[in-house]
Structure 1
Amino acid sequence: MKKKSVVTKFLSRRILLLIQLIISIVFLGYIYYLKMLPMKYYLILVGIIALLWFFMSFFIKYGIKKKKKENKYGMLIFSKLLSLVLSISLIIVSVMAFKGNSFLSNITGSLTQTRVISLYVKKESKYKKLSDIQKDLKKMKVGIASEKGTKNINTAIAEMEDATGEEFKTKDYKDYSALGDAIDAGKIDVAVVDNSYSALLEANHEGMDDGLRSLYQVEIEEQVQSVTQKTDVTEKPFIVYLTGIDTYGTVSAISRADVNLAVCVSPKQKQILMISIPRDTQVNLHRNGKMDKLTHSAMYGIDETISTIEDFLELKVNYYAKTNFSGITNIIDALGGVTIDSPYSFKTLHGNYKIVKGKNEMDGNKALCFVRERHALPNGDFDRGRNQQRLLKAMISKAISPKIITNYSQILQAVEGCFETNMTSDEIKSLVYMQLDDMAKWETFNVQLSGDPEISYKTYSMKGKKCYTMVPSKKSLNSIIKIINKVENGERIKEKDIKGLQGA
């Protein structure tokens, strides 16, 4: 009697069906564990998987009979291949689900922020890397600014000294604007800067950031104070503070907030109210009650910005979500670009991109430059806020399209490390479960705080320095607070409620 080969045994009816059964059970178990699929759909899925197994059992058996009676192998080979394909498909879907779950775990539950301190030289400097300055450190002064304290600066310098093997001789310019002046004038070649306060460095030299090269960075991790209040996201209205910081690299970095959106969600009414607050809005800092620009509040940590916005809009933030320049470009590129309808034609300051009036196809970098632009727009920061909302809508539209499945892994990789939130993965899963359960249509309302531009020399962070600010309109602010109260009370928003608040 001829012995069966290992391949023949592996491809036997019993082994193939056993493999399909085991994979099916593991797949169904994992889907149940995720708790994202409503029970009514889960039971349907169980029924489909069970029917497929019984169908394949019958199909392979029928192929065996066909082979014995007619000596034809086609049906048998096809049925076995189909069983293998089904098993492999279930494995692929399971892996995708596992990746998605791991991704949620990695971007959620954020409780830390990172203070980044850099060793800077001008881009045209002869120093291209850290080793280039080692031989000159003994005879040069390293510029610092002590106005916001020196504890973190000294910690960073100690690490930089270990890296170079040389002791730093520092010159304290006291405040960051004076340090910026010294860098611009070429009075110093090297400076140690806390990136959180880069806005102060640029006080007299807008865009200085773009003209600097970082030779070394020290990252100091800090705990975020718990200022948010969690809630049942499927039963009660909740508010998410969505911010975009003006940095590349680590998303947890403390830096200015370029994008400030308060997103009010009503799960019962199926409505979302998106409030854009211009970065230059005059607010009173929560920490001391002093007047400052909203964007500057983020220099003191995201918890300070959240508390300041809570005071300003008379609301309670439940969660926050944060991204940065790297996040925006990476996500959009992974989505395959976005289409944005611009009401104006203009050229961006960053990147020199030509934006036409009407529809524009944009990759990540072009979209980033589009939402950063304000100088070329007729209404400045107001138009920038509206462009930020346009980009967010375009990204959501692309993300929910069926084509996303083809870039699934790339999108997860793009978002991870460039986006974080203090929502838990279970809370996000519960929202997905709710949406799949009722498949409801949502209404989205966009409003923007308006006001009058004002040049101020009295901001807390840049006192005595020229600052472009916006004095919020009391009428606009009170109207927005009134709508927020409706959302928080579970009431339904109507178009008349937002009349005159959408901007020009």
Structure 2
Amino acid sequence: MNDNQYNREEQDLIEKARQAAARSRNYSEAEQRQATQNARNEREQKRKNLPLVSPERDRQQNSNQQRVKKNNRNSNQKKPNKQSQQNWSGNQRRNKIANQEQRNIFGYVLSVLMIVLSLILVGVMWIYNILPTTPRLIITGILALFSILSYTLAGKGQYSAKIRKTWNTIATIIVVFLMILSYVLLSGVGFLNSLFASHENVEFEVRVMADSPYQSMSDLNDTTIGAIDTEKTEDIEEALTKLSNQNDINLQKLEYENYSDAIGELYGGYLDSLLFNNAKLELIKEAYPNFETETRILERIQIKTEIKDLKKSVNTSKEPFNVYISGIDTYGDISSVSRSDVNILMTVDPKEKEILMTNLPRDTYVEIAGTNGGYDKLTHAGVDGIETSINTISNFLDTEINYFARVNFTSLIELVDVLGGIELDNPVAFPTNDGNYYFEQGLITLNGEEALAYSRERYNLEEGDIGRGKNQMRVIEAMINKAISPDVIKYADELISKFSEVAETNMPTKDISNLVNVQISNNEPWKFETQTLIGYGRDDLPSYNMPGYALYMYEPDQDSLDELKDNIQRILK
């Protein structure tokens, strides 16, 4: 082999070796690139949480694994584990109950509202004796049953959704009804409570002579002011203190035994000014007819006085009792102290449903309570307050007065109009003295203004003041009959809103409710009787308030007075 041939073979071998090395390097690099790519793909698949695309052997392995899992899952579905089944069933029950309780929150709310409203209704009914005992017991039982039923259905899960839904509808209606009933009941109790008389208003006036140089209260600084010692000391002191403080002046009080002496000193120029109870103006005018024009007012001041607890409560549904009705001769505030022109004692027997009205004429000559034997007109007792009137009449008729009710002439107008008018039997036709009205004989219908005129007239009546008293009792009887009739329902709202403004009493709400229960239990009409004190007119009897003046008095006939007392005791027994 020559050198050239050897060199070519060597070069061929070297070239083949070089090519083999290149192929080996390329293959190694390709495998390395494939491994790197596979690793990158695997990381990317894991990041995306996607199934990996595997080589054929991996796909086969995954397919086998999926087939095993499927077989296991089918096996579990065909043969469930007992414990697992129990756990699943318990969870289902708990979830169902929880869902039902969540859906029945409305039922819980209804049950709570029903219980609260029932407690309010039952409490008010038993505290104030609303309705007779038997209906009260029945209503209490029904409300208790509804409350228990509502709470039971709201709290138990064994009842179906349909039962719950039906009861919730019924309970909603009951709750709305109880709300309305609670409002009506509480409003009624509030109305009756508002009638309770707790105080009186006493108005004082400071008067000087019409030609006096004093033009204002400041001019009275360091001057004397007259006061009557028969007035309540605490009222006089309070009035003087207010006058002094409000006007920054100093007043020197000079006391007099009666108004006659004080007015005489004022007229004579010995007294600078006079402080007196405005309620006694009419009394003063009986002796000094021109008093209002001969004097003038410098200032008015009002004192509020508390009324003592004068009631003597009884069970008004069973026991007889007396109510003093005082008609105050004034317009405006029902609590104003004034003359008692209407003085009627109403004796009530709730068992027999009998009412005896005893009329005492305003000028009846009686001993005024608290005067240590002082006699005067009965109407003048009112200017010293309701307590004086009650004690005066109680002593005069020898009977205990349990309650009082007070109305004024403004009240009469408004009450009759609120009731829609009244009907009464007028025994004798007569006109009023002012010529504005004429009342026919027989059954007549009166509005408020007409009822007031009918009650006030005395000049055109044959019996004068006695006839007026009888007419006043006819008006009261007609008002009572209208108030207890079914027709009054039409005026209930207005009656409730107006009545407390025009009348007041010291009869507690519970005692009023007992009396109403009598009418509910027995719808028979009440039997009315009337009687009037007979007496004789005189002008020579001494007056406690105005001594030395000849005032008209009505001296009682003793036989008539004894008959009145006997009739009152007959009803009370």
| TM, length-normalised to structure 1 | 0.72
Query: What corresponds to 1:68 in structure 2?
Result: none
Query: What corresponds to 2:334 in structure 1?
Result: 251
Structure 1 position 346 matched with structure 2 position 346: no
Aligned-partner residue type, residue 132 of structure 2: P
Instruction: Measure the CA separation in 1 of the matches of 2:114 and 2:429.
Output: 57
Query: What corresponds to 1:283 in structure 2?
Result: 366
Instruction: Measure the CA separation in 2 of the matches of 1:165 and 1:397.
Output: 55
Structure 1 position 219 matched with structure 2 position 303: yes
Q: Deviations over 1:320-375 (max 9, x none)?
A: 222333433333333334344443322255xx641322424222x44334323323
Structure 1 position 412 matched with structure 2 position 496: yes
Aligned-partner residue type, residue 446 of structure 2: E
Query: What corresponds to 1:103 in structure 2?
Result: 191
Query: What corresponds to 1:42 in structure 2?
Result: 136
Aligned-partner residue type, residue 185 of structure 2: A
Superposed displacement of residue 444, structure 1: 1.4
Distance change in 2, residues 1:162/1:348 (3 Å): farther
Structure 1 position 361 matched with structure 2 position 446: yes
User: Which of 80, 85, 92 matches 2:180?
Assistant: 92
Contact between 2:258 and 2:546, CA under 8 Å: does it hold in 1?
no
Give the stretch that moved more between structures: 318-327 or 386-395. 318-327
User: Which of 274, 277, 302 matches 1:194?
Assistant: 277
Contact between 1:339 and 1:362, CA under 8 Å: does it hold in 2?
no
Query: What corresponds to 1:500 in structure 2?
Result: none
User: Which of 383, 392, 396 matches 2:467?
Assistant: 383
After TM superposition, the structure 1 = structure 2 runs for residues 32-431 of structure 1, keeping only pairs within 5 Å, are: 32-42=126-136, 45=139, 88-108=176-196, 110=197, 112-119=199-206, 134=216, 137=219, 144=226, 146=228, 148=230, 151=233, 152-165=235-248, 176=259, 192-204=275-287, 216-224=300-308, 226=310, 229-287=312-370, 288-342=372-426, 343-348=428-433, 353-358=436-441, 359-363=444-448, 365-431=449-515
Instruction: Measure the CA separation in 1 of the matches of 2:126 and 2:218.
Output: 63
Contact between 1:240 and 1:318, CA under 8 Å: does it hold in 2?
yes
Please give the secondary structure, in 2, of the residue aligned with 1:456.
coil
Distance change in 2, residues 1:150/1:89 (3 Å): closer
Distance change in 2, residues 1:486/1:139 (3 Å): closer
Q: Deviations over 1:374-422 (max 9, x none)?
A: 2333321111101211211222122223343343343233232543333
Aligned-partner residue type, residue 100 of structure 1: G
Instruction: Measure the CA separation in 2 of the matches of 1:21 and 1:285.
Output: 56
Higher helix content, 1 or 2: 2
Aligned-partner residue type, residue 367 of structure 1: A
% of aligned pairs identical?
Answer: 27
Instruction: Measure the CA separation in 1 of the matches of 2:130 and 2:318.
Output: 16
Instruction: Measure the CA separation in 2 of the matches of 1:415 and 1:181.
Output: 43
Contact between 1:340 and 1:362, CA under 8 Å: does it hold in 2?
no
Superposed displacement of residue 145, structure 1: 5.1
Instruction: Measure the CA separation in 1 of the matches of 2:296 and 2:454.
Output: 22
Instruction: Measure the CA separation in 1 of the matches of 2:298 and 2:500.
Output: 24
Instruction: Measure the CA separation in 2 of the matches of 1:341 and 1:465.
Output: 40
Aligned-partner residue type, residue 101 of structure 1: V
Aligned-partner residue type, residue 272 of structure 1: I
Query: What corresponds to 1:129 in structure 2?
Result: none
Please give the secondary structure, in 2, of the residue aligned with 1:98.
helix
Please give the secondary structure, in 2, of the residue aligned with 1:162.
helix
Query: What corresponds to 1:463 in structure 2?
Result: 547
Instruction: Measure the CA separation in 2 of the matches of 1:443 and 1:411.
Output: 24
Distance change in 2, residues 1:46/1:178 (3 Å): same
> Max radius of gyration: which structure?
2
Superposed displacement of residue 174, structure 1: 7.7
Distance change in 2, residues 1:332/1:172 (3 Å): same
Superposed displacement of residue 446, structure 1: 0.9
Superposed displacement of residue 208, structure 1: 7.2
Contact between 1:144 and 1:172, CA under 8 Å: does it hold in 2?
yes
Unaligned runs of at least 5 residues, structure 1: 1-8, 55-63, 66-75, 126-131, 491-504
